[in-house]
Amino acid sequence: MRASTYPLIDAEVAAALVLERTRFLGSERVALVDCAGRVLAEDIVASAPLPAFPSSAVDGYALRAADAGKALRVAGESAAGRPFERAVEPGTAIRILTGGVLPEGADCVVMMEDVELSGDVVKVPGGLQPGQNFHAPGADLRPGERVLPAGVQLGAAELGLAAALGLPELPVGRRPRVALMSTGDELVEVGKAPGRGQIPDSNRWALLAALREAGAEVRLLGIGPDEPDALRRLVVDALGGADVLVTSGGVSVGTHDLIKPLLESIGDVHVGRVKLKPGKPFTFATLPDDKVAFGLPGFPVSSLVTFEVFVRPALRKMQGFAQLQRPTLPVRLGYDARATADRTEYQRVTLRREARELVAASTGSQSSSRLMSLAGAHALVRIPPGDQGIKAGAVVEAMILSLP
Ligand code: AMP
Ligand code: MG
């Protein structure tokens, strides 16, 4: 073992440094069919009103409000997609169906349920107001109005809006291409029986899921050996087609920990140790051609917590998300939290609603090898460094993963 020469830096400082060195990857135009989950790269402004024409909100009769209380001759029909092409004369009404164009001359619609029909004469109630029961042009959106701002994620409502405006494709942020590698001679492919001292490569699958969920396109490099030249070849080959390298393992100070020297030999290591628990050996480097590398610690929980703190916000910045961080909420601690003297701790908790607050319960042993502490966790509770710890009942900040 050798002592690490990298300065221990604050987790917040390291996170800011990572974002400073990460750039937006640019945009591409994508057909609506593939836009779900992508990030809008430019504001969308309505170029025409929505609805484009006065559109009936109900099935009924279109007429002049001035004819309230009268018996009117039914002169025709305006169905959705099949407008009545003449004007409505005084003393007449037009049968209209939901989505039908309000004809010229009419200024209101009376619901089917509110009229008496005999033959082609309809008796309409009194007290009608112009404008009732139809959507005026521009009622939902006026031309020039901003519909969606750049930086939002495109979900169901956003895509529906884009389609309603007649846009067949949208400018979206490019997805980061990530090369993902596990390292360690103890690792075997999942499904293969581990020999003595071997374990399945579980980080690959955990990180693959986390990366995809964060919007990345992932290329799996498999298991890198604890041998510098082979490792270097694997990484250099993969970098050609990647924006980002993510590795797990091989960043602590043991003699087999080869990632830091490898990254130093091809780029610049900016973060080599952070005041973070779990995740102290987290490593971040910039590489030639504007690429970046994240050397995540090998312990399964450490790799996923450092992913949340450092990698996820960076991937979001690359895609153009306006919001880089997960939401945080104040929660009441339901247990006595011990603190670490010199490191910010992210403790895994489940949340429950009690009265009007969220109360955090520990997921049990917070060992960085124990994935059970993260499975099903609703949040990461941030415990600042210190030797006092925080007592049950205090309110702390929680990074929300999902709400109960
Ligand atoms: P390292 O950072 O390489 O020293 O690894 C720290 C611990 O994490 C060791 O116990 C490793 O066996 C374990 N570990 C490293 N990589 C993986 C992986 N891909 N899947 C599961 N455990 C791992
Ligand atoms: Mg290792």
Q: Could you read off the pLDDT of 135-178 as tens digits, one per residue?
A: 999 999 999 999 999 999 999 999 999 999 999 999 999 999 99
Q: How far is the CA of 343 from the centre of ligand 1 (A)?
A: 21
Q: For residue 302, give the ligand nearest its CA.
A: 1
Q: For residue 298, give the ligand nearest its CA.
A: 1
Q: How many CB atoms lie within 10 A of CB 358?
A: 21
Instruction: Please tell me the distance from the alpha carbon of residue 241 to that of residue 228, in angstroms, as a whole number.
Output: 21
Q: How far is the CA of 162 from the centre of ligand 1 (A)?
A: 45
Instruction: Please tell me the distance from the alpha carbon of residue 201 to that of residue 78, in angstroms, as a whole number.
Output: 65
pLDDT band at 257 (very low <50, low <70, confident <90, very high): confident
Question: Six-digit token pair at 326?
Answer: 């997960």
The model's pLDDT over 70-83, given as tens digits with 9 standing for 90+, comes to 999 999 999 999 99
The model's pLDDT over 219-249, given as tens digits with 9 standing for 90+, comes to 999 999 999 999 999 999 999 999 999 999 9
Q: How far is the CA of 243 from the centre of ligand 2 (A)?
A: 24
Residue 90: closest CA among 111, 79, 105, 76: 105
Ligand 1 site: residues with CB under 6 angstroms?
A: 182, 184, 186-187, 199, 201-204, 248-252, 254, 257, 297-300
User: CB of 246 within 8 A of CB of 294?
Assistant: yes
The model's pLDDT over 202-220, given as tens digits with 9 standing for 90+, comes to 999 999 999 999 999 999 9
Q: How far is the CA of 218 from the centre of ligand 1 (A)?
A: 20
Probe target for ligand 1 pocket from 181, 188, 189, 203, with the most ligand atoms within 8 Å of CB? 203
Residue 281: closest CA among 270, 272, 293: 272
Q: For residue 297, give the ligand nearest its CA.
A: 1
Question: Six-digit token pair at 237?
Answer: 């080959």
**Which residue has its alpha carbon closest to ligand 1 atom 10?**
299
The model's pLDDT over 324-358, given as tens digits with 9 standing for 90+, comes to 999 999 999 999 999 999 999 999 999 999 999 99
pTM over 0.85: yes
Residues 6+ apart with CB under 8 A from 95: 60, 61, 62, 74, 76, 77, 78
- The average confidence (pLDDT) of the chain is 97
Mode of pairing for the β-strands spanning 344-354 and 273-277: parallel
The model's pLDDT over 306-324, given as tens digits with 9 standing for 90+, comes to 999 999 999 999 999 999 9
Q: In the predicted model, is pLDDT for residue 3 greater than 90?
A: no
The model's pLDDT over 13-32, given as tens digits with 9 standing for 90+, comes to 999 999 999 999 999 999 99
Instruction: Please tell me the distance from the alpha carbon of residue 318 to that of residue 39, in angstroms, as a whole number.
Output: 10
pLDDT band at 1 (very low <50, low <70, confident <90, very high): very low
Q: Which residue has the higher pLDDT, 2 or 120?
A: 120
Instruction: Please tell me the distance from the alpha carbon of residue 111 to that of residue 133, in angstroms, as a whole number.
Output: 8
pLDDT of residue 382: 95
Q: In the predicted model, is pLDDT for residue 394 greater than 90?
A: yes
Judge residue 38's burial from the number of C-beta atoms within 10 Å of its C-beta, 0-12 exposed, 13-18 middle, 19 or more buried: buried
Residue at token pair 């591409």:
28
**In DSSP terms, which residues pair with 92 in a beta bridge?**
73
Probe target for ligand 1 pocket from 187, 226, 307, 372, with the most ligand atoms within 8 Å of CB? 187
